Structure 1
Amino acid sequence: MLLTGESDSLSSIGLVREARHLVDANVPMLCLVPRNQFDDVSALRQGANDDFIVKPSSFSELFSILRLFLSNFPGPMPPLEREWGGYRFMMSSNTVEFGGKRVQLRPDEFDLAVELFSNEGCTLGRDLLWTAVWAKAWDGKSRMLDTCVSVLRRALKLPANGWELRAVWGSGYRLDGSSSSQMPAMAPYWSPSPT
């Protein structure tokens, strides 16, 4: 189970307690908490399968942490690379390969690209994208999301490769490509052993 802490220690502690109440104690739990809550929340560790860490600052950092955490349990590991319609995303390095080129993206650009490609054909609202990439709500004024979208269009040469990343008025952004590029559903990384 992966949990993300709340905005204050008391709420995070309540979240962890509720999760432990609902889920079997043998289910491994990784809880990501803000640095200022770490001491308070990590005191709730109940077993060898639980771990608490400070929230990572990027998707690639989170991906590396999850791989390390999951290596302690039987079952398949998340892939180091993901591919969508000719674009190969190297999860551990914020790098994208396509058409014989390799492009290094900033962590926020990479995280945004993964979010958009993972949800191909769906309109994603600004608030959702802000929360997914920058872990905070959109303030309604910042143009950082629009700037990152522009960088992705250019750096990944989306239109030239048959992809359209467009703004959806009053909502957010939508990435469309060929339907054959959609990634198949992934199997769960961990499942409890039969009792």
Structure 2
Amino acid sequence: MRRAFTVALERYGYEMTAAADGLTGLELFRDGGFDLLVLDVMLPGLDGIGLCRRVRETSLVPVLMMSARGDGLDVVAGLEAGADDYVVKPVDTFVLVARIRSLLRRATYPPLPGPAPAAPAAEVLAFGDLVIDTAGMEVSVAGAPVALTPTELKVLLEFAARPGVVLERHTLLRDVWDYGWDGDSRVVDLCVQRLRRKLGRDRIETVRGFGYKLRR
């Protein structure tokens, strides 16, 4: 399967480096130069979840997790470890490429979402001691910088564009993860949990039965 996906993605123009086990993958990652990682949960030596945790210790590179079970604990564990999205095996190559393209687009740090304002958009947004520099794509809390993955930053920008407005999970799935259909809302919930750990648990409020909103 590894060889098949490598060949298929190369046909789409991607430059691929494949590893047969997690420890080799970690060594290759440390050599640098990767724009995105696709990690299978079931890797020998060091599994994909453990590898994702090691990667997140030093890098915010987009991570796509591949799992054999769509409703198992592996998916949740992978997202909690810092993965940005996941696909379930067996996966069609077209779906895999779509998820990769979505993650790479997110990593380019798109502009603040929402309709274009009449006046130039503010480059710095402040919500208490939470400060978002939308031009430099930097976030700080109480003056201390906060490292966010591209997905976490994109979700925060969606909230910051509409402070106090409830955003439904399917809206975030559409606008952040580019799901044109109903995706798995767990990716939203786990991403919000990671944001709360980094920004403070009271920044993003849960509105039961609807979604989430950023406190003004």
TM-score of the aligned structures, taking structure 1 as reference length: 0.47
- Bigger radius of gyration: 1
Which structure is higher in RCO with an 8 Å CA cutoff and minimum separation 6? 1
| TM-score, length of structure 2 as denominator length | 0.43
